[in-house]
Structure 1
Amino acid sequence: MTRIHPAPERFAFTVGGLPPIAAVEVGAEIEVFTEDCFAGRLNSVTGRPREVAPFPRVNPLTGPIELRGVRRGDVVAIHLLELTPARDWGVSTMSPSFGALSGTRLSPNLQPETSEHVWIWSVDAAAGAVRTRTADGRELAVPLRPFHGTVGVAPAHGEVRTSAVPDAFGGNLDVPALAAGTTLYLRANVDGAMLYLGDGHFAQGDGEFAGTAVEGAMVTRLRTAVLAEEHLAARDVDWPRMETDDEIIAVGVGRPLEDAVRVAVHTLVRWVAESCELAPQDAYQLVSQGCSARIGNLVNPAYTVSVSLPKALLPGRPVLMDGAHDRLRGQRAEADA
């Protein structure tokens, strides 16, 4: 297994435009250490988030990792095997002019800015929870549900984007489904794909409304596969897709929120139509009557939405994405045996 644990000075704050820090073969198991969005520097309720991690030096990523043999135009399947908190604590914040209930540059108001607050959360792995205390000493607890807020590949056309941005290349999606057991599909825009991971979340509600999740450093095991461009499932992947054992999930990115919803629904309808050989209008009906929609984030430069459909509703038991998820899942089962 290849272990990628970069030194602090090697973390990336952009997606794209950087030489690889490592190169691995497609299919090899990788263990990756990722820092929290404050680079581990915000570890006290008296800390100052914008001093320890001033924009754009926020949300450090591990990468890029070159995937040998991937060609521009291929689709990369990234299967998350295991996500383990790297520390026994995480951190969340509330900051001025940030969050769904704050005025921002794009949606200004004349209300006073919110004050800055920090919460330190302890990880109780045995109980499956993270816990913090209010200023007056009361305990708050939510379920421990590790996932990656950010997984992406180099953008198209040589673009360099900040690590805070979601888009067709993945990036800062903040979708809780990006957890252990999930396969993420992204189109490679450059040879080698150039994979980035980061923004570990120990817990997050839909929307990430206050501006951060319970942010935490993570150790992640993953394995990749590749779908060549000539394969039908690869040609039509222009927005992020995810697959679990039970669901297929399309991710939409946009602003305003309804544009992100339209992108996700359109992606899912096309996926169902192509996989099940259904007419588009029939696939649209199936998605419309059987889907679930969740807000990923409502605070980033672009908003994200995931729309999912249970596999049990797909007629004909189709082979999805050339069976990449099932193959990667099977390799995981063999390794665990």
Structure 2
Amino acid sequence: MTRIHPAPEQFAFTVGGLPPLATADVGEEIEVFTEDCFSGRLTSVAGRPREVAPFPRVNPLTGPIELRGVRRGDVVAIHLVALTPARDWGVSTLSPNFGALSGTRLSPNLQPETAEHVWIWSVDPATGTVRTRTANGRELAVPLRPFHGTVGVAPAHGEVRTSAVPDAFGGNLDVPALGAGTTLYLRANVPGAMLYLGDGHFAQGDGEFGGTAVEGAMVTRLRTAVLAEEHLAARDVDWPRMETDDEIIAIGVGRPLEDAVRVAVHSLVRWVSQSCDLAPHDAYQLVSQGCSARIGNLVNPSYTVSVSLPKALLPNRPVIMDGIHDRLRGHREVAA
């Protein structure tokens, strides 16, 4: 197993443009430590988020991890085996001019700025919750559901993007389904793919409306596999896709939100059409009648949406993405 636990000065705040932090073989298990989005520096309700983690020094990432043998154009499967909170606490905030109910530079208004607030949440694995207290002592609790807000590979065309951005390369997707047992598919834009991981969330509602999740440091075990570019199932992967035991999920990115929805629906229709040998209009009808749509985030530079379809609805139960998820889920070696 390759273990990657960066020193504080080794975390990345961009996706792309950096030399490898580490190198790993496709198929081996990798253990990765990731910091919370405030670099572990926001530890009390009296803390000042924008002082301890001023933009763009926010959302540190572990990476890039070079995957040996991956070619530009190949599709990389990143399977999250296990996600374990690295600390017994997480943190969430409200900040001025940030969040779905605040005016921003792109959508200004004349209402007073939202005041800055910080909540420290305790992790309670025994009850499967995270808990916090309000300023007047009331307890709040939500389910403990660890996932990664950010998983990505180096962008195309030599671009360097901030760690706050989602796009076709993955990045800051904030999709709660990206937890243990899920496989994420991304097209490699450079040799070695250059994988980044971070933004651990202990809990988050759909939309991340307040601007942050319950942010926390994480220890993650993952495995990877590769689908060669020339493989039929790899040819249409131009936006992130995910697979669980029960669903296939297409992710759309865009702004306004309706553009992100269209990207996701279009991607899922193409995926179903190719996998099930259905005419595009028939695949469109199946997706339209059987899908579920969830907002990932409504606060980042671009918004994200996931649109899913149960595998049980796919005609003849086809093999999805050459069976990579099933093989990774079984923890068997998957060669490049």
Shorter-chain TM-score tier = over 0.9
Q: Separation in 2 of the partners of 1:286 and 1:236?
A: 19
Deviations 1:40-98 (A, max 9, x none): 00000000000000000000000000000000000000000000000000000000000
Task: Give the secondary structure class of the aligned counterpart of 2:152.
Answer: strand
Moved over 6 A (4+): none
Using the TM superposition, give the Cα deviation of residue 233 of structure 1 relative to its aligned residue in structure 2, in angstroms: 1.2
Unaligned runs of 5+ in 1: none
Aligned residue number for residue 114 of structure 1: 114
Residue correspondences, number: 333
Aligned residue number for residue 201 of structure 1: 201
Q: 2:101 is matched by which residue type in structure 1?
A: L
Aligned residue number for residue 316 of structure 2: 316
Q: Does 1:8 align with 2:8?
A: yes
Aligned residue number for residue 91 of structure 2: 91
Using the TM superposition, give the Cα deviation of residue 331 of structure 1 relative to its aligned residue in structure 2, in angstroms: 1.6
Q: 1:4 is matched by which residue type in structure 2?
A: I
Q: 1:157 is matched by which residue type in structure 2?
A: H
Q: Separation in 2 of the partners of 1:315 and 1:122?
A: 45
Aligned residue number for residue 331 of structure 2: 331
Using the TM superposition, give the Cα deviation of residue 235 of structure 1 relative to its aligned residue in structure 2, in angstroms: 1.3
Task: Using structure 1 for the length normalisation, give the TM-score.
Answer: 0.98
Aligned residue number for residue 25 of structure 1: 25
Aligned residue number for residue 146 of structure 1: 146
Aligned residue number for residue 60 of structure 1: 60
Task: Give the secondary structure class of the aligned counterpart of 1:135.
Answer: coil
Task: Give the secondary structure class of the aligned counterpart of 1:331.
Answer: coil
Deviations 1:11-58 (A, max 9, x none): 000000000010000001000000000000000000000000000000
Q: Separation in 2 of the partners of 1:261 and 1:210?
A: 21
Q: Separation in 2 of the partners of 1:49 and 1:331?
A: 39
Q: 1:22 is matched by which residue type in structure 2?
A: A
Using the TM superposition, give the Cα deviation of residue 273 of structure 1 relative to its aligned residue in structure 2, in angstroms: 0.1
Aligned residue number for residue 40 of structure 1: 40
- % of aligned pairs identical? 90
Q: 2:324 is matched by which residue type in structure 1?
A: A
Using the TM superposition, give the Cα deviation of residue 316 of structure 1 relative to its aligned residue in structure 2, in angstroms: 1.1
Q: 1:137 is matched by which residue type in structure 2?
A: G
Q: Separation in 2 of the partners of 1:292 and 1:9?
A: 41
Q: Separation in 1 of the partners of 2:10 and 2:313?
A: 45
Q: Separation in 2 of the partners of 1:270 and 1:308?
A: 13
Task: Give the secondary structure class of the aligned counterpart of 1:300.
Answer: coil
Task: Give the secondary structure class of the aligned counterpart of 1:289.
Answer: helix
Using the TM superposition, give the Cα deviation of residue 145 of structure 1 relative to its aligned residue in structure 2, in angstroms: 0.1
Aligned residue number for residue 257 of structure 1: 257
Deviations 1:275-304 (A, max 9, x none): 000000000000000000000000000000
Q: CA RMSD in A?
A: 0.7
Task: Give the secondary structure class of the aligned counterpart of 1:264.
Answer: helix
Task: Using structure 2 for the length normalisation, give the TM-score.
Answer: 0.99
